[in-house]
């Protein structure tokens, strides 16, 4: 479904020359696959995602979506950001209708309303769809963002840390909402995350990016758990801890903090987890 081919992204430096952010990044996603892109903050994950979304131009390389080269945004890709960017003067329903009206322009008004109502109800907003964003919690606003993306029935879903601003319980709830929708509609999905557990719970494969500048695709990890997935069962599976350690070790080996410490310093798993906000710790 998606082929990212030898992607480079560079920005001009103020003192001349250029800074290469992403270098020679290639990846393929099969139809219906759920892949996550993980890496340290600032390595270039959002840069890759925004090029795939057509919101940013690649310096070199290209994107092939469903057999066609593409370099601009379109309704064939639904994008969900960390904050859902809803128009504040419109209700949740009206926000979803904005996209629905554009994509289903041949449908009748009542059919379009039904589409918006359907997707808002499957994300659990039947009772609140006529409220404005200010009357909704952060989690409910993100539900609107997810409903809006799925309502367009895109070929691909691109998610940039969609649960990054949510508390842990709401994050778990919305991960489940997302998984249920993904299983129902099987939309090929690429999601950026910092969260090792989220990546394992949601993905078929985790794409690991090396640190920037000149970030590359460092490794790919297949997640073997069958679907539908049960969070508790996964956490009790010994393979979960092996996968988690593999991811953390990858991120640990590319730690940003290493150069500022002793030359022979080997950061521990605990320190790497702390850096990713998984456990509180004190770094001397």
Ligand X SMILES: Nc1ncnc2c1ncn2[C@@H]1O[C@H](COP(=O)(O)OP(=O)(O)OP(=O)(O)O)[C@@H](O)[C@H]1O
Measured from the CB atom, is 112 or 194 closer to ligand X? Answer: 194
DSSP string, 5-70: EEEEEEEE-TTSSEEEEEEEEEEEE-TT-EEEEE--TTSSHHHHHHHHHTSS--SEEEEEETTEEE
- Least Å distance between CB 210 and ligand X? 11
Q: What six digits make up the tokens of 133?
A: 């964003």
- Least Å distance between CB 222 and ligand X? 22
Measured from the CB atom, is 183 or 256 closer to ligand X? Answer: 256
Q: SS in 3 state form for 52-68?
A: HHCCCCCCEEEEEECCE
Measured from the CB atom, is 47 or 188 closer to ligand X? Answer: 47
Measured from the CB atom, is 7 or 116 closer to ligand X? Answer: 7
* Residues β-bridged to residue 20: 10
- Least Å distance between CB 257 and ligand X? 15
- Least Å distance between CB 52 and ligand X? 12
Q: How far apart, in Å, are the Cα atoms of 215 and each of 19, 38, 40, 160?
A: 11, 12, 10, 17
- Least Å distance between CB 178 and ligand X? 19
Measured from the CB atom, is 11 or 118 closer to ligand X? Answer: 11
Sites of contact with ligand X (CB under 6 A):
11, 21, 39, 41-47, 194, 212
Phi, psi of 217 (to 5 degrees): -75, 115
């Amino acid at each position: 479904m998606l082929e990212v081919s030898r992607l480079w992204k560079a920005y001009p430096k103020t003192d001349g020359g250029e800074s290469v952010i992403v270098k020679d990044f290639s990846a393929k996603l099969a139809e219906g696959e759920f892949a996550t892109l993980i890496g340290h903050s600032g390595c270039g994950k959002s840069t890759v995602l925004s090029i795939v979304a057509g919101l940013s131009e690649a310096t070199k390389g290209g994107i092939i979506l469903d057999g066609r080269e593409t370099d601009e945004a379109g309704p064939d890709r639904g994008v969900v950001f960390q904050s859902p960017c809803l128009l504040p003067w419109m209700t949740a329903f009206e926000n979803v209708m904005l996209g629905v009206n554009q994509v289903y322009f041949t449908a009748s008004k009542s059919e379009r309303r039904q589409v918006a109502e359907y997707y808002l109800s499957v994300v659990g907003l039947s009772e609140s769809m006529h409220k404005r964003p200010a009357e909704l919690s952060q989690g409910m606003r993100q539900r609107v963002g997810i409903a809006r993306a799925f309502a367009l029935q895109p070929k691909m879903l691109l998610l940039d840390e969609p649960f990054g601003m949510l508390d842990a319980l709401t994050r778990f709830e919305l991960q489940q909402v997302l998984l249920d929708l993904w299983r129902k509609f099987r939309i090929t999905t690429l999601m950026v995350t910092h969260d090792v557990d989220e990546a394992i719970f949601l993905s078929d494969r985790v794409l690991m990016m090396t640190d920037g500048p000149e970030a590359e695709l460092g490794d790919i990890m297949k997640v073997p758990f069958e679907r539908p997935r049960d969070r508790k069962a996964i956490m009790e599976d010994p393979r979960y801890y092996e996968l988690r350690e593999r991811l953390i070790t990858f991120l640990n080996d590319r730690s940003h903090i290493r150069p500022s410490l002793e030359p022979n310093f080997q950061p521990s798993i605990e320190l790497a987890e702390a850096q990713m906000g998984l456990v509180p710790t004190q770094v001397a």
